[in-house]
Amino acid sequence: MVTQEDGMDGKAPTGRHALEQALYEVKRTIVGQDVLVERMLVALLARGHLLVEGVPGLAKTMAIRTLAQAIGGDFQRIQFTPDLVPADLVGTRIYNQKDGEFQVSLGPVFANLVLADEINRAPAKVQSALLEVMQERQVTIGRETYPAPDPFLVMATQNPIESEGTYALPEAQVDRFMLKVLIGYPSAAEEFVVVERQIAAAVATVKVLDPDMLRDFQREADAVYVDPAVIEYAVRLATATRDPASVGRGDLARLLTYGASPRASINLVLAGRALAFLRGRDYVLPGDVRDLARDVLRHRIVLSYEALAEDVSADALLTPILEAVPVPTAPLRERPGGFGGGAGFAGGGDSGFAGGGDVTWARPPG
């Protein structure tokens, strides 16, 4: 794919329009994966990372490479294999016989956007090395510490149809991914466009951002207002996965071994804030959190053996939970003073929370 940098020469889009233009540039190349493209930008704005599950051939590599070109960032693809070692990812010290000194050779994780292809094909120590970089955003080689580039996004992929020769990611490590996105086949109409574009001349991706602009967007996304009622809604969703009976779905308890950790509540709010910014708002709506709930929660719940025996998926469990948790419906933007006068979460009703102010709660449409 050819990268064209004319977009940054004199006529560069400014403000939020530049972000919309970056989204347009990716969608100009990638057809039928709008959710994946949007979630990549959400993770990038929220400083999170992305786990993608889908069969081969669905443009995962092309999507993140095109995004890297549009934002003017470095891109690296790492193919995970059983013989990979941590030094292949993060780098190592190499002895230079000519100088008689050790020199540091940095690994491919030192890029703005990193694709960890089929992460479950490498052993646990390699997975841990990558996840440590994701969490700490730095690598220590010898006695020196090297910071990861900023911005920094890791998109790891898994193939759901092959299990032979794979190493499952432990729950504690999967929890470090902000989002897990499931992608499927494009529709017939979308696939027609894919084929049509493949046999035509390659479309140049225009560079419309640079890393400095993206960091500015991250800071703007950080300033998006989150009403305490929206935070409470995120917490309700996470706690409902631990105790389904609290929202009247005790029948689901037998299918769950562990619910989502508090990191889920945090990431629901962080990702919701980034999505609101991407949608052109300076405040978060409950709908932003709800739209991201499956992506934030599906990899954080541990199904019971009973659920696995009955072939119940995480999404099948989350659907009734999302329907059972009431959504705040009050005009939240006008309530900067906080919920319940800062009373916090007190016992009350069957939810474990006390309502406050003029917030009303409604069941989401079935």
Q: What was the pLDDT predicted at 333?
A: 57
pTM given for the model: 0.83
d(CA 20, CA 23): 5
The single-letter code of the amino acid at 257 is T
Tell me the CA distances in angstroms from 250 to 242, 298, 315, 355, one per residue in order.
11, 19, 17, 23
- Let me know how long the chain is: 366
Nearest Cα neighbor of 230 from 259, 180, 271, 260 is 271
d(CA 243, CA 348): 16
Tell me the two tokens of residue 121.
Answer: 């094909």
Q: What was the pLDDT predicted at 275?
A: 95
Q: What was the pLDDT predicted at 364?
A: 63
Reduce the DSSP state of residue 345 to 3 states and report it: coil
d(CA 358, CA 361): 10
**Where do the domains of the chain lie, and which CATH numbers do they carry?**
3-217 (3.40.50.300), 224-342 (1.10.8.80)
Q: What is the mean pLDDT of each run of 10 residues along the chain (366 residues)?
A: 44 64 86 90 94 88 87 89 89 80 85 90 86 87 86 89 77 88 91 88 81 91 94 96 92 92 96 94 94 96 92 93 88 48 36 46 58
d(CA 352, CA 275): 28
| Cis amide leading into 151 (omega within 30) | yes
DSSP for 159-223, written as a single string: -TT--TT--PPPHHHHTT-SEEEE--PPPHHHHHHHHHHHSSPPPPEE----HHHHHHHHHHHHT
